[in-house]
Amino acid sequence: DTAMYAAKRAGRGRYQLFTAELDTRARDAELRRAVENNELVVHFQPAADFAEDRVVAVEALVRWNHPQRGLLMPDAFIDLAEETGAIVGVGEWVLREACRQAAEWRATIPAAADILLSVNLSPQQAAQTGLVEIVRGILADTGFPAKRLILELTESVVLQPDEATVARLTALREMGIRIAVDDFGTGYAALSYLRRLPVSILKIDRSFVTGIDEDPKAYAIAEAVVRLGHAFGMHVVAEGIETIAQTRRLLEMGCYLGQGFLFHRPQSGEAIAALLRDAGTPLRWAAFGRELAR
């Protein structure tokens, strides 16, 4: 309080700066405690092959079950976590928890034997020296196979990779893990970087998918991404599909993989397990796995 009083005396601008910093520090500490107190939760959004109407993968998406504020979505805390470095602990926890759950589904639900699991990797994690060993350890501990894991990187990491990051991603790829570029199309157009990296999957950003049916420019961008991805031998996944019209447009341009509220919203692990167990849900994971493995 004396510090606050001193800051106050130093002038209003300094005071505001000071409280902003205090606030960041307090929120950072709260998030780090949340990891230890098991307040984080992983939800999963299925990804579909909509040409064949089947679920092909699930993406792990973190939520914070805050004791006072209720269930918080990532936009309420991921940016801060990235800024303070707390994301490294959060991301490691998410990877472990997602692999643990997915390994359990594989072991107990026949239709989930070849489940593909996608986990978001933050820029700070991609830059982490011990990343490869951490991932290897989590796979060993949970028994989830590397060949069924996809790590999603944002363009900011992929477009400016330093040598060490290229080496880390290459080591992960050599273990059998696939690398996806998330929110593709929102970064700089330095596409040449894609040639240097072991990328298997491009995910077209939702902002292009949203306009695909009405805006010829959004359509042209999505189509260019699909062509580029396929020319590179990659799988192309459309994000944020909400309408049948968008789905038709995507099929028209040769894209048949996607995620969106039209198919499935992100949901709890229990709900996903029920979906996998439901005999009425056509789930031919194995076929997609074979295609991906080619």
List interacting residues with ligand C2E (CB under 6 A): 45, 61-62, 73-75, 78, 87, 91, 94, 120, 122, 152, 182-183, 206, 239-242, 259-261, 266
Q: Which stretch binds Mg ion (CB under 5 A): 79-87, 147-155, 163-171, 211-219?
A: 147-155
Cβ-in-10-Å burial (0-12, 13-18, 19+) of 110 comes to exposed
Residue 150 in contact with residue 202, Cβ under 8 Å? no
Q: Is 155 in the site for Mg ion (CB under 5 A)?
A: no
Q: Which stretch binds Mg ion (CB under 5 A): 122-130, 169-177, 180-188, 286-294?
A: 180-188
Those residues whose C-beta lies under 8 Å from the C-beta of residue 262, and which sit 6 or more positions away, are 241, 242, 243, 244, 246, 247
Candidates 152, 234, 249, 283; binder of Mg ion (CB under 5 A) is 152
For residue 72, give the 3-state DSSP assignment: strand
CA dist 207 and 211 (Å) reads: 7
Residues in 217-246 at the binding interface with Mg ion, rule: CB under 5 A: 239
Residue 142 interacting entry, from Mg ion, ligand C2E, none, C-beta within 5 to 8 Å by type: none
**Helical pair 86-108 and 269-277, crossing angle rounded to 10 deg:** 20
Q: Which stretch binds Mg ion (CB under 5 A): 71-79, 93-101, 120-128, 139-147?
A: 120-128
Closer to ligand C2E by Cβ: residue 7 or 61: 61
Q: Is 120 in the site for Mg ion (CB under 5 A)?
A: yes
Closer to ligand C2E by Cβ: residue 32 or 287: 32
- Angle among Cα 77, 79, 81 to the nearest 5 degrees reads 65
End-to-end CA distance of the chain: 63
Residue 266 interacting entry, from Mg ion, ligand C2E, none, C-beta within 5 to 8 Å by type: ligand C2E
Closer to ligand C2E by Cβ: residue 5 or 261: 261
Distances (CA, A) of 222 to 28, 120, 124, 215, 254: 37, 22, 28, 11, 11
> Residue 151 pairs with which residues in a beta bridge?
119, 179
Q: Is 49 in the site for Mg ion (CB under 5 A)?
A: no
| Residues near Mg ion (CB under 5 A) | 120, 152, 182-183, 239
